[in-house]
Amino acid sequence: MNNYLGGMRGLQFIFLLIAGIAGSLMAIQGSLNSYLGGKLGLLPATFSVQLLGTLTVGGLLLVFLKGQSQSLLEGLPTIPFYFWLGGPVGVAIIYGVAVSIPKLGVGNATTGIIFFQLVTAYLIDHFGLFNQETIPFTGVKVIGIAMMVIGAFLLLRK
């Protein structure tokens, strides 16, 4: 294990841990958003979540990017329009999670989320979409996804 944590593999482990924490936070966020959606309605809850997220990142920008706003603004015109779709996609994600969790439960909804997230991620990797490095889709990955499908069916059984 010590050798694994050295050098590049150590960095990969750290980033995998960060990704895992993000995944855990997604399940927590989905539960919170689902509750808000039930209390406020789905669109008001989605708006509230996005507004609070905007205020949070706005505060972080003020703290961490002090004096760098000019260099940020200069790059804006060079960015293709579709790279700005992350905001609307985030709204769709929050809405979809808030709708599905009360109907399916956190575990079942998250199973669907993870499965389709992985399939989409491997398509992005394989074709190098959205300016990502091309990483070939291999037979081993097909077997892994097939195992996930089997696992998803097992998890979804009552």
Output the tens digit of pLDDT for each of the chain's 158 residues.
455 555 667 788 898 889 889 888 888 999 999 999 999 999 999 999 999 999 999 999 888 887 676 667 787 888 898 988 988 999 999 999 999 999 988 888 888 888 888 889 999 999 999 999 999 989 998 898 889 888 887 877 77
| Domain coverage including residue 139 | 106-158
Q: What angle do CA 135, 150, 111 make, to 5 degrees?
A: 75
Q: pTM above 0.95?
A: no
Domain membership flag for residue 6? no
Name the nearest CA neighbour of 83 among 132, 119, 126. 132
> How high is the pLDDT of residue 64?
85
Of how many residues is the chain composed? 158
Asked if 137 and 81 sit in the same domain, the reply is: no
Asked if 67 and 112 sit in the same domain, the reply is: no
- CA 52 to CA 103: how far, in whole Å? 25
Domain membership flag for residue 30? yes
Contacts 24+ apart (CB under 8 A), 109-118: 109/30, 110/26, 110/27, 110/30, 111/152, 111/155, 111/156, 112/152, 113/26, 113/30, 114/23, 114/148, 115/148, 115/149, 115/152, 118/145, 118/148
Residue type at 108 in one-letter notation: N
Asked if 93 and 35 sit in the same domain, the reply is: yes
Asked if 92 and 134 sit in the same domain, the reply is: no
Asked if 117 and 79 sit in the same domain, the reply is: no
State whether residue 138 is helix, strand or coil. Answer: coil
